[in-house]
Amino acid sequence: MYVIALKMLFGDWLKYLGLIVGIAFASLLICQQASIFLGLTLQTGSFIRDTSQADLWVMDPQVRFSQDSQPLRDTVVQQTRGIAGVEWAVPLYQAFTRGQLADGTRITMILIGLDDATLLGGPPLMEQGSLADLRRDRGVLIDTTTAANKLYMKRGGG
């Protein structure tokens, strides 16, 4: 039975070559789509992984994804603080805003707000300044790559 199957397979080289190319192309598509899925999955939770000060995140049940702007009620934050073993719990503000590049192009940026009382959630290491600089009027933190390559910052009074 196998001998007949092999003779039929190798008897027509064009069909054999088409079969091999088809299998190779299908394998390529499977690997490519798997890598796209894995990349999107890793990118989806990157903010939570990068903000490593928190061991546990408490979100509203209506939140559909990690960057959804569905705020928690103050009572829920207070209930979380009251749980035994919880050292601290503060709300985190995250929103999208518009910025302007040096060439006039407008881009969407992620704005992250910190708790003004404790400044928890700020970067653990800074090249210039300190977290306390956020308490000044119009104080912001910008990562050095964005500041050096992308943002247009006005000099002087505003």
Determine whether 90 is exposed, middle or buried from the number of CB atoms within 10 Å of its CB (0-12, 13-18, 19+): middle
Q: For residue 45, give the 3-state DSSP assignment.
A: coil
* pLDDT digit string, tens, across residues 67-119: 777 778 889 889 988 999 888 888 878 888 888 877 788 888 888 888 778 88
Name the DSSP class of 34: H
DSSP 8-state secondary structure symbol assigned to residue 135: G
For residues 86 and 105, is the Cβ–Cβ distance under 8 A? no
Rounded to whole angstroms, what are the CA distances from 107 to 20, 56, 98? 46, 31, 6
Which pair of tokens denotes residue 154? Answer: 């006005």
Indicate whether 132 pLDDT > 90: no
Give phi and psi for 108, each to the nearest 5. -95, 130
Beta-strand ranges (E) seen in the chain are 93-100, 106-113
**DSSP letter (8 states) at residue 7:** H
pLDDT at 158: 42
SS3 content of the chain, % helix, strand, coil (to 5): 40, 10, 45
What does the pLDDT average to over 142-152?
A: 70
* Domain parsing of the chain, residue ranges: 2-44, 53-149
